[in-house]
Amino acid sequence: MMVKKVLQSILMPLIAIFISMIVGGIVILITAKQNPIYAYIALFSGAYGNLMNFATTLTNAIPLIITGLGVAIAFSSGLFNIGAEGQFWIGAIVATYLGYQIKGLPWFLHIPLIIVCAMIAGALWGGLVPGLAKVYTGAHEVITTMMMSYIAIYFSHYLLEGGPMMDKGTIPQSPVIQNSAKLSTLVPNTQLSSGLFIAILAVVVVYILMYKTTLGYELRAVGFNIKAAKYAGMNVAQKLVLAMGLSGAFAGLAGAVQIMGVQYRLYDSFTSGYGYTAIVVALLANNNPIGVVIAALFLAGLSTGAQEMQMQTNISGQLADVVVGLIIFFIAIEELYRIIMEKIRTGKTKLQPVGGQE
Amino acid sequence: MEYILRVKGISKRFGNIQANDNVCLDVKKGEVHAILGENGAGKSTLMNIIYGLYTPDSGEIYFEGQKLEVKGPHEAIEKGIGMVHQHFMLIPVFTVAENIVLGFEPKGFRFNVQEAEKKILEISKKYNLEIDPKAKVGDLSVGMQQRVEILKAFYRDARLLILDEPTAMLTPQETRELFKIINNLKAQGISILFISHKLDEVMEISDRVTVMRRGKTIKTLNTKETSEQELANLMVGREVKLVVEKNKPRLGETVLKVENLSVKLKNGVEKVKDVSFEVRRGEILGIAGVDGNGQNELVEAIVGLISSTGRIIFNGQEIQNLPTRKRYEKGIAYIPADRQQDGLVLNFTVAENIVLKRYYKKPYSNRGFLNYKAIISEADKLIHEFDVRPPDYKLFAKNLSGGNQQKVILAREFSSSPDLLIAVQPTRGMDVGAIEYIHRKLIELRDSGKAILLVSLELDEILNLSDRIAVMYSGEIMDIIDSKNATREQIGLLMIGKKKKEA
Amino acid sequence: MNILSIFTNPYLWASTIAMAVPLALPAIGGTFSERAGVVNISMEGIMLISAFVSVAFSAYFHNAWLGLLAGVISGILVAYVFAWAAAKMYANQIVLGMAFNIFASGITAYLFNAIYGPEGTPFDTPKLPDVRIPAIDKIPVIGQILSGQNVMVYIMFVLIILSQWFLFKTTIGLRLRAVGENPEAAETAGIDVVKMKYLGIILGGAFSALGGAYLSIGVLNSFSPEMSSGRGYIALAAMIFGKWTPVGSFLASLLFGFATALSYTLQESSISKNIIMMLPYIVTILALIGIGGKSVAPAADGIPYRPKK
């Protein structure tokens, strides 16, 4: 019974992935005039083929997992947190600042301090403005979170380009964080850090939160049926704000982990890309924390493997994005499958109208 | 042509409900013909078929002598059939002119506002329906909005005007205005189909009346030759359904006391007008009435889901300022009318739905963490006690049949040991066996000394179960009578607005 | 550099208009789509695709106008698929938009690499001409601002007026707006709701495509991956801020364009530059919250509508 349920929820994403890879294969065939199967093998081995590649995949997966968890929390509550990218940045900014400014703290105090502060910052960035705005004025969180994203990015530019967080010299970047703030490297000569454990811990925490606590129960109720939640006496407005806050907190954590584990300083760039990919992760995973891990590994693998594929076959790594876009598209038009199934079952094309409310 | 509309043998089925069953109807040219019936009688389905929104399974319709085969509202309109829906099809941010001409705009790529307004003023003068074409519809009163809907029909040269429950949202003065308009239109040769459940209005305005019940047309009468009594009988029927054995009520103290309760909606309409009543331990108070007369708003006000004025006193305590959860905690249980939309989270399991109102209390949770062992054992117990099938707490609520979904809700609400149980439409859409079961449980609860407020659209249910019956019409309680001596006819009259005759 | 000299420099105002073009065009396109009740965040993706296609065709045929035409057609085709998914398959419009954007980002970068390789598009690719208007040219200051802009700027001005007229003064515009406000009422009035949604979305795609083409063959004569850099999303904000009207969207885009142009002029102090860049986004949030008058979306915006018949 359980297996059947799991299979049913995987079916849609799997169909979508399958169709998308076929379409991607056709594109390769036409434009690069190469054997798509060979290209996909290169992709796969580039992602998981050997220890180094796998380590790189894992490194890319860590921020996707953590941010994906955040986005999944929002989706579960019926909210579209498109601005995870901005909350990621805020977490990164806070982590960097606390990372280089605070000296003389042992790592077992420094790192948790950074984590907590980054999560609070992310929570405020998501919960305060977009969350409250949604609840009290109905402002749609898609736009507000996206605007907050841009504000966060420009804020980081301000801090780095001749601003208070800029390192000595001419390059717009922050000072390197203290050693006590750096996460240890797991596999030598890779960027894979013990952030992996933080990611795993996050998965466990979110799983417990969503399925074992009263708050998780309430968030899911609100996401599934807001009217029933009100009928049951829940304080829906409070739950929505909390959902946005939690979502932002995890995105902020992801930013912090990225700084502490991979970058060690803040760079002046436009996008990490993790915020938007995390949305895909949550969609593929159907908001399930375990699914987030699998989806994150898949997407991280796609991007890592794409680089390998590019080296071996000269096919641009951007193909990964093409496939990802197609996957989401095929998931979004799930109505089509319903229509096809109905057609197969009854031989009719139109569903009967639902009738007569007197 | 004597008849403008002839409906012959129209039938329409939705799933396993026969909404229209061999319906026959004749409307004479220039008459006001009323269609009288309760909820579920099939009136709206018939109108939607005439208007082209549904296709009938069988039967024929003749309009102005020609067979009517329309593929949609646009064709029906072009043929000369105009409909004013119960829920207006208007766009609040558009002007009156824009709303009226939408879909039938003056010819040309550019929207010729001047010509539209000119024609509207002509029509409004012809039918004596004053209106300002430039006004925004959202700013108009409900009565004026209805006028826009009527003008819409005449802008498109309607010869038959269908009015679906036109006075549902109107004040008494606006209703008077409407009747003046209807008489005016009649004088101009327009035929009118007037759909209603309000007996007094039907008696006043119609020339002939057709009564519908359970999808069938029962009888057509000349209004002058019939009486309200006769119409009420036909409307409500004489079939006797289940009669539940019940003892005399053993009354205790008052559990719920409602004083001067009023509910005003955001758009200004008063849905509950100064209602007062009380419910005592050991009794079932039934609230009868046609749907839309304020029963739902009354219940939501008592539970705190909608704001109201007046006092609500529960076990001696004033609760009108308490949030919903606190009211539940004080001992109120509530079975809502729409079980799937309000009462259950369909994507939750049966177990999760059972604890929907008490998940946050011990033993179901402790310090924020859910105690699944306790939840599951409670769910198991209740599933067996209430015979939910299949008896599996892990199933998602959406996979249960309607009857079993209702049992889950019942199990939840009954097991919370309430002092007052509010049940709205508890047996809607259920089969005879399930209905009997629920009725038995309600009587049991009452016999154990609890109070029950039962709201139902099924008169049989009200008569069988209630000790006292309150009838709601247009937001007011018409009367509260003892069920022992109550007759269908008596209640039927109250339900459609006829006040008890002063001796 | 004193404040006054910054503001009296006509170059600032000329750039404001130029920077507003790739915002205003998709924003106006967005008004068609949203007025018909469809939330369309795929503008970013359509801009990107059109930018690429325009350059490619311009280079291949050595004619910028053919490139423009090809770009617009590509936008219409993509929009058609979006319309099918949104109006006929009732797909979640936000998820759908994200799908298109990610796809577009990937396919354009991929094809760019596959076809042109590391050198990029040929450097003799023709671009759309700049135009001098003799009458205005002579006027001091104004002449420098309004004359000599790229031809797309003037096309944009014409389109703004046409769009405003189309939406609010024609019969089709009335029906389109009806569908976005109350699709049920529109259906009972006999209007084909699905067809109207298609129209709104496709018009939106065409306008976004124009904006994208401007980026590649109006300002420059080349393509680079991600060259739309979020303008599609900013255009969304401009549309909301402009209260879902073409003229309003244009004015809002001017505001956003001004902020960008100003930031380029103020190069010394990065404080002002980045803070100024933040302003349009802050203002959008304020507008959404209702400060400065409530910006009301079409009533049925974003809700997939299932027709009764």
Q: 3-state class of C309 per DSSP?
A: coil
Q: Which is nearest to A276 in space by CA: A126, A94, A68, A21?
A: A68
In this prediction, residue A271 carries a pLDDT of 67
Tell me, yes or no, if B105 comes closer than 8 A to chain C by beta carbon. Answer: yes
Distance separating alpha carbons of residues A22 and A40, to the nearest angstrom? 11
B210 pLDDT higher than 80: yes
Distance CA A226, CA A218 (A): 10
User: 3-class DSSP state for residue A300?
Assistant: helix
Q: How far is B342 from chain A (nearest CA, A)?
A: 4
Per-residue pLDDT for B206 more than 90?
Answer: yes
| Strand spans (E) along B267-408 | 270-280, 284-288, 309-314, 317-318, 332-335, 365-366, 369-370
A227 touches chain B (CB under 8 A): yes
Q: What is the pLDDT of residue A352?
A: 44
Distance (Å) from the alpha carbon of B96 to chain C's nearest alpha carbon:
13
Put simply, whether B91 touches C (Cβ < 8 Å) is yes
pLDDT of B232 higher than 90: no
With 60 as the cut, is the pLDDT of residue C49 above it? yes
CA distance C147 to chain A (A): 33
Residues whose CB is less than 8 angstroms from the CB of residue C306 and which lie 6 or more positions away in sequence, other chains included = C90
Which among A214, A225, A353 is the nearest to B370, CB-wise? A214
How far is the C-alpha of B379 from the C-alpha of B384, rounded, in Å?
9
Closest residue to A227, CB basis, from B12, B45, B341? B341
pLDDT at A325: 83
Chain B residues within 8 A of C174 when measuring between CB atoms:
94, 98, 102, 105, 111
C-alpha–C-alpha distance, residues C32 and C207, integer Å: 10
Relative to beta strand B309-314, strand B254-264 is antiparallel
Q: Do residues C48 and C179 touch, judged by C-beta distance below 8 A?
A: no
Q: pLDDT: is B490 or B189 the higher one? A: B189
Three-state DSSP class for C254? helix
Interface test with B, best of C177, C188, C194 (most B CBs within 10 A): C188
Question: For chain C, percent helix, then strand, then coil, each to nearest 5?
Answer: 75, 0, 25
- B65 in C contact zone (CB under 8 Å): no
Interchain contact A8–B (C-beta under 8 A): no
Instruction: pLDDT tens for chain A, 358 residues: list them.
Output: 556 666 666 777 788 888 888 888 887 787 777 778 877 887 888 888 888 888 888 999 999 999 999 999 999 998 989 889 999 999 999 999 999 888 888 888 899 999 999 999 999 999 888 989 888 887 778 778 888 988 898 888 888 887 888 888 888 888 888 888 888 888 777 888 888 999 999 999 999 999 999 999 999 999 999 999 999 999 999 999 999 999 999 999 999 999 999 888 888 876 667 888 898 889 888 889 999 999 999 888 888 888 777 777 777 777 777 888 888 888 888 777 777 777 777 765 444 444 333 3
User: Does this model's pTM top 0.95?
Assistant: no
Kindly state the helix (H) or strand (E) to which residue B195 belongs, with its residue range.
strand B191-196
Please tell me which chains touch A, using 3 or more CB pairs under 8 Å as the contact test.
B, C
Of residues B41, B323, B324, nearest to A358 (C-beta): B41
> Which pLDDT score, from 0 to 100, does residue B287 have?
94
Taking the Cβ of residue B15 and every Cβ of chain A, the question of whether any pair is shorter than 8 Å is answered with yes
B40 CB within 8 Å of a chain A CB: yes
Q: In what helix (H) or strand (E) does residue A310 lie, and over which residues does it extend?
A: helix A289-313
Higher pLDDT, B124 or A356: B124
Contact with chain B for residue A231, Cβ under 8 A? yes
Report, as an integer, the average pLDDT of C204-226. 88
Torsion of CA B296, B301, B306, B310, to 10 degrees: 130
- Touching check for A225 and chain B: CB below 8 Å? yes
Closest CA of chain A from B292, distance in Å: 11
Q: A204 at the C interface (CB within 8 A)?
A: no
Q: Show the beta-strand stretches assigned E in C139-251.
A: none
Give contacts of B345 with chain A, Cβ < 8 Å. Answer: 220-221, 224-225, 228-229
Q: Write down how long chain C is.
A: 309
Contact A129, A205 (CB under 8 A): no
Cβ-Cβ contacts under 8 Å, A325 against chain C? 99-107
Residue-wise pLDDT for C266-308, tens only, equals 655 555 677 877 877 787 777 777 654 555 677 777 777 777 6
C-facing residues of B in 23-62 (CB < 8 A) are: 53
> Which residues of chain C lie closer than 8 angstroms to A74, CB-CB?
none
User: What is the interface size between B and C, counted as CB pairs within 8 Å?
Assistant: 66
Between A80, A158, A326, which is nearest C271 by CB? A158
pLDDT score, position A211:
93
Cβ atoms of A130 and A145 within 8 Å: the answer is yes
Q: How far is CA A134 from CA A129, A241, B156, B390, in A?
A: 8, 8, 43, 40
Q: Please tell me the distance from the alpha carbon of residue B243 to that of residue B223, in angstroms, as a whole number.
A: 34
Average pLDDT over residues B121-145: 87
- Whether B343 and A233 lie within 8 Å, measured CB to CB: no
Min Cα–Cα distance to chain B from A331, Å: 20
Q: Provide the number of CB pairs (under 8 Å) joining chain A to chain C.
A: 152
**Are A228 and B341 inside 8 Å of each other by CB?**
yes
Alpha-carbon distances, residue B437 vs A47, B272, B431, B459, C228 (angstroms): 61, 32, 10, 18, 65
Contact B91 C181 (CB under 8 A): yes
Contact C98 A321 (CB under 8 A): no
Q: What percent of chain B has pLDDT over 70?
A: 94
B-contacting residues of C 188-227, CB under 8 Å? 188-191
Q: Which residue has the higher pLDDT, B54 or A209?
A: A209
C171–B110 CB contact, under 8 Å: yes
Q: Judge whether C125 and C217 are in contact, CB under 8 Å.
A: yes
Mean pLDDT comparison of A11-15, B259-263, B474-478, C264-268, highest-scoring range: B259-263
pLDDT (0 to 100) of residue C295: 57
Q: Residue A232 — φ and ψ, nearest 5°?
A: -75, -5
Tally C-beta pairs within 8 A across A and B: 87
Residue B244: per-residue pLDDT: 61
Give the minimum alpha-carbon distance from A356 to chain B in angstroms, rounded to a whole number.
Answer: 6
Do the Cβ atoms of C277 and A154 come within 8 Å?
A: yes
Q: Kind of pairing, strands B58-63 and B32-36?
A: unpaired
Q: Once rounded to an integer, what is the mean pLDDT over residues C192-213?
A: 94
pLDDT band at residue B7, thresholds of 50, 70 and 90?
very high
pLDDT per position as a tens digit, B62-97: 998 888 887 888 888 888 998 898 778 899 999 999
B81: distance to nearest CA of chain C, Å? 12
Q: How far is C237 from chain B (nearest CA, A)?
A: 22
pLDDT attached to residue B239: 41
**pLDDT above 60 for C56:** yes
Interface check A151 vs C, CB under 8 A: yes
Provide the pLDDT for residue A96: 92
Partner-chain contact C181 B92, CB within 8 Å: yes
Name which of C162, C168, C174 to mutate to probe chain B: the one with the most chain B Cβ atoms within 10 A of its Cβ: C174
B369 touches chain A (CB under 8 A): yes
Question: For residue B459, what pLDDT band results from cuts at 50, 70 and 90?
Answer: confident
C-chain residues within 8 Å CB-CB of B74? 189-190
Against chain C, the chains showing at least 3 CB pairs within 8 Å are A, B
Q: Which of B73, B91, B108 sits opposite C182 (nearest CB)?
A: B91
Check residue B37 and give its pLDDT: 80
Is C99–A328 a contact, with Cβ atoms under 8 angstroms apart? yes
**CA of B188 vs chain A CAs: smallest distance (Å):** 31
Which residues does A57 contact at the CB level (< 8 Å), separation at least 6? A47, A48, A297, A300, A301, A304, A305
Q: What are phi and psi of B105, to 5 degrees?
A: -65, 160
- Which residues have CB under 8 Å from B202's CB, separation 6+? B34, B36, B194, B196, B209, B223, B231
Interchain CB contact of C3 with A (< 8 Å): no
Chain A partners within 8 Å of B305 (Cβ)? 230-231
* Number of residues in chain A: 358
In the chain, the amino acid numbered B190 is: I
Q: How far is CA A43 from CA A29, A30, A313, B46, B214, in A?
A: 15, 18, 10, 62, 65
- CA dist list (Å): B337 to B340, B344, B418, B425, B428: 9, 11, 18, 5, 8
Q: Do A332 and C85 touch (CB under 8 A)?
A: yes
Q: What's the mean pLDDT in C205-232?
A: 85
CA atoms within 13 A on the CB side of C265: 23
Which DSSP helix (H) or strand (E) runs through B20? Answer: strand B17-28
Average pLDDT over residues B1-10: 88
- Please state, in angstroms and rounded to a whole number, the distance separating the CA atoms of residues B415 and B114: 66
CA distance B147 to B120: 12
pLDDT (0 to 100) of residue A113: 93
Q: Which chain C residues are closer than 8 Å to A137 by Cβ? A: 288-290
Mean pLDDT, chain B, whole residue set: 87
CA dihedral B123, B129, B134, B135 (to 10 degrees): -160
Within an 8 Å CB–CB cutoff, is residue A228 touching chain B? yes
Nearest to C184 among B71, B89, B94 (CB): B89
Q: How many CB atoms lie within 10 A of CB B441?
A: 19
User: CA-CA distance, A114 to A123, in Å (whole number)?
Assistant: 14
Residue B500: predicted pLDDT? 59
Q: Between vectors from CA B105 to CA B104 and to CA B108, what angle results, nearest 5°?
A: 130
